[in-house]
Structure 1
C-alpha cells in the first residue's frame, strides 16, 4: 500500500529560494564590533576579572550576551597566572625550611631513621635526629626543639610520608609555620 499526496509539491524558483535562505539564519546573532571592543577594554582594565564577572557587568549595562561569548572576546593573557615553584623558592628562601626522613642501614643490619632539617636561605643544617621508630609525636618534638621561641620559619617543605601524621601538622599550625608538601611521587 502506498500513500500519495493529495496535492503536488510546489515548485520553487530562485527568488523563493533566496527569500528562504535570507529568512533562515542558523546560530546566535552576531556580536557587534562595539561590544567586542568593550569586552576587550574591560578585560584589559580589570586583570583580575574573569568571564563571569565581565558577563555580569555587561548584563547590568543591558547587553544580552552569553558568558562563553564574553570568554571568547576577552584579551588573551600570556604567561603563568601565578608565580612558579622556582620563583617562590627565590622570593622566600630565607623563610623556607625543608625536612626529610630517610633510612640508615647499620652494620648489624638494623634500620635507623634519620630526620634532617635544613634552612634554604644559607643551606644551613638546623637539626637532625636518629631513631629506630619514628612517630608523629617524635617528629613534632624535633621541630619544637629545632625552632625554639620565635625563630620558626615561614614555610616548611616536606614529602608526603605517612609518618608525619596529624599531630605534626597541628604542631606546625600552632607554631605559625605554613606546611607545603611536595607533589606525590616526586
Structure 2
C-alpha cells in the first residue's frame, strides 16, 4: 500500500470522531446537502474516476450502511462496491508479489549464451543450439530457445546470411602464406632488401635473407631454403600470396606448387590486398628499424633474426588472444597472480631496445 493511500485513509479516519459528536439535526442536514450535491454531480459527470484510496474508504463505510440504502448513499452500483471489497480480501490473502505465474523465466546468462551461439554459428537452428546447451549442462526446451531468438531478430538457420568477411578470412587464413620485400638503409645510405614470409593463420614471420641486390635467382633460392627448413609445416598451406614483382619468376612459383600450394597474385599497386604483410613491415619499422642504425648486411641479418625470435616466441598478438605466433593456446584461462609472491624478470634484447618480461618464483 502506497504512502498516498495511507495518508488519505488517516485523513478520513480523523474526520469520523467529529462527525459522531455532532448533533443529529446537523448530521441530517449535512447528509441531505451531500445527497443533493451527488445528484447534481451525477447529472453532469458521465463516469467518476476513483483512486485506490477512495475505493478502500467507500468499501469500509459500506459495512456500516444497510444494503438497501446503498443506492441512495453511494454514487456507484452495489455490484461494483462488492467487487471492490472482494479485491481487498484477495490482496490480503494472496502473495503474488512473491511469485510469478507460469514456469520460471530463463536466466539472463543463458539468454546471452543462446544469442552468442546463434551469432557465432550461422548454420545452427534452435534445436541444434538446444542440444549444445544440454551438453554444456543447461537443460532448456527447444521452444524456449526459439522464443529467445525470434524477438532478437535472428532468423532460422537456413534464412540467415552466410559467414561474415571476418569469419571467412579467419577460416581461410590457416592455409595462406604471403611474401613481401622490405627495404632498409644502412648508416652509409646503402639500401638493403629483406625477403620475409608470414603465415596468416599463426602470424609467424620467416626471414628468408638480406641482400643489396635481390635477383630472380636469389629469390628462388630463398624459397627453396624456406621449403627445406620448414618441411612438413608447409603441408597445411594451400595458397601463396605475392605481388607482381618481376623477381618472382616461374621458377619461384614452382617451388610452392610442388607442395600443392596455389599461387595468388595481388592486383597491381594494391598493397592492401597483402595487408598482413604490410602490417608486419610497419611493425618492423616502428619497433626496430626506425630506432636503430644498420651498419651492413650481416648486422641487418642479425638484428632482424633476433627481433623475429622475440616476435614469434614472445610478442603478444591481438588476433591470437594475446598469444605469440609460436605459443600454444593455454588449457585453462590465465588467472590473477599475487605479484608479491613472484618476481618479474626483465630480459634485454638488442641492447635494451626490446624488453621481455618473465615471471620467476
TM-score, length of structure 2 as denominator length: 0.27
Query: Larger radius of gyration, structure 1 or 2?
Result: 2
Instruction: Tell which has more relative contact order, 1 or 2 (C-alpha 8 A, sep 6+).
Output: 1
Q: Which structure shows the higher strand fraction?
A: 1
TM-score, length of structure 1 as denominator length: 0.50
Q: Which structure shows the higher helix fraction?
A: 2
